[in-house]
Structure 1
Amino acid sequence: MAAAAAEGAAAPVAAAMRAVLARAGRAAERSGRAAEAVRVVAIGKTKPVSLLRQLYDAGHRSFGENYVQEFVTKAPQLPEDIRWHFVGHLQSNKVKSLVGNEKIANHLDRAVVSLGREPLKVMVQVNTSGEESKSGIDPSKCVELAKHVKLACPNLILSGLMTIGMKDYSSTPENFKALANCKLEVCKALGIPTERFELSMGMSGDFEQAIELGSTNVRVGSTIFGPREYPNQKQN
């Protein structure tokens, strides 16, 4: 009975992903880009491995997690060809479990060496809304941190910038525009072609608008998997 129920849940999850991909593709076209120019990362926060596996079996390969413990628990249970994205706040004492400031960048750089891994792609998180509840650096310090990652952390590959929008983003796109401006400043300062530098912005409630404003990487969870169910205990 349980197995049958699990199989029956696969269709809604796969259908939800197809709908998200279609919406993302149309938004990309409205911004003058091809649908393939935007990556949709399925965020499995609080969701069981079985649901992620169903989406994998439907053909999706880009997944993300917000909590280190969920990441290190789920990843070994799923196929190795999944392209994982860690999108949560990273504490320095959790760095080695996975393989935004200079201290975190330095810890990551050393961890990559100590674990014998290939250079790690990273994004700098920017707090474009100025909310104290959000992680990330101030936009005015974005170029400085980007320079540190690129020039002082040889085992890290600076691949782009990310931000988290406000809860109600329907009429306030300024934060997304701010990140787009940060991208231009970083690319100019470091001589990086803009087409090779990513913008990760947009989630379930605002990913279409984010794409229209230049996002190349959107993080969608509840729209695919349904409402999140938070455990009683705090996760890090």
Structure 2
Amino acid sequence: MFVNPENYFSILKETQAANATLVAVSKTKPVEAIKELYDLGHRDFGENYVQELLNKEAQLPKDIRWHFIGHLQGNKVKYIAPFVRLIHGIDSFKLLKEVNKQGGKNNRVIDVLLQVHIAQEETKFGFSEEELNTSFNHELQELNNICVSGLMGMASFTEDMNKVRNEFKNLKRIFDQHAQLQTPNFKLQTLSMGMSADYKIALEEGSNLIRVGSLLFGKRQNG
């Protein structure tokens, strides 16, 4: 058995109580593990690597909602564009334009989340608050095959949960500010923050999508 059902249903109950979505992070996990969670009724799964996602998508039921949650390279967008439900972590306008291009080729509108840099670590990707305020109003009008449906951010890797909470509060403030500016392809509905170590705080601070891996599947063996 790959999945701890007790853990899964406990986390799912917390997530549903907050009107949030639980994305099971299945990176590096075998198809059998995903099928096990699928058989419990779960449908939202997140993958970090394009090739791994393609391999799993080909082997698993077609009603799975695949989330791409890794750092996406522009030259690989075309491979997941036909089926991906949501691309998390769009961190440049160049990447956004490529997703739009591939959405057009597949005759679909692809939902994306913009990644906001809320942590103090330089290793985190994402837009600054200033870039969100100035960069997108005009440029987005020309992109008809994407919909910016939300924002996402990752907190600092720290044991200081007050710091994590403050970073989540800041992202919620930014989300609320931009959620008022609805356009045909900018409709903020999803606020993704919170992973295995901090999802409880994230839900308390307004997250409506959390990404949990190790608590569902156990520690990753590699990657």
Q: Which residue of 1 aligns with 2:216?
A: 224
Q: Which has the higher strand share?
A: 2
2:143 maps to 1:161:
no
Distance 2:139 2:23 in 1: 24
| Counterpart check, 1:126 vs 2:108 | no
Deviation at 1:187?
Answer: 2.1
Q: Which runs of 5+ in 2 are unaligned?
A: 82-90
Aligned 8 A contact 1:203 1:218 in 2:
yes
User: Alignment partner of 1:161: what SS?
Assistant: strand
Q: TM-score, normalised by structure 1?
A: 0.82
Aligned equivalents of 2:74 and 2:138: distance in 1?
A: 17
Q: Is the 8 Å Cα contact of residues 130 and 138 (structure 1) preserved in structure 2?
A: no
- Unpaired stretches in structure 1, ≥5 consecutive residues: 1-8, 29-36, 232-236
1:171 alignment partner, SS class: helix
Q: Could you report, residue by residue, the CA deviation over 1:152-171 in whole angstroms, capped at 9, with x for unpaired residues?
A: 21100111000011223522
Count of equivalent residues:
210
Determine if the alignment matches structure 1 residue 48 to structure 2 residue 40. no
- Aligned identity (percent) is 36
Distance 1:148 1:135, change over 3 A: farther
Residues 13 and 54 in structure 1, CA contact (< 8 A), matched pair in contact too: no
Instruction: From the CA coordinates, give the structure whose radius of gyration is larger.
Output: 1
TM-score normalized by structure 2?
0.87
- Alpha-carbon shift at residue 151 of structure 1 (Å): 1.6
Which residue does 1:88 correspond to in 2?
A: 70
Matched, 1:204 2:196: yes
Q: Deviations over 1:146-202 (max 9, x none)?
A: 53674221100111000011223522112111111111221234469xx96210000
Question: In the alignment, does 2:40 pair up with 1:16?
Answer: no
Instruction: Quote the RMSD (CA, aligned, Å).
Output: 2.0
Task: Indicate if the aligned counterparts of 2:120 and 2:156 stay in contact, CA closer than 8 A.
Answer: no
Partner of 2:87: none
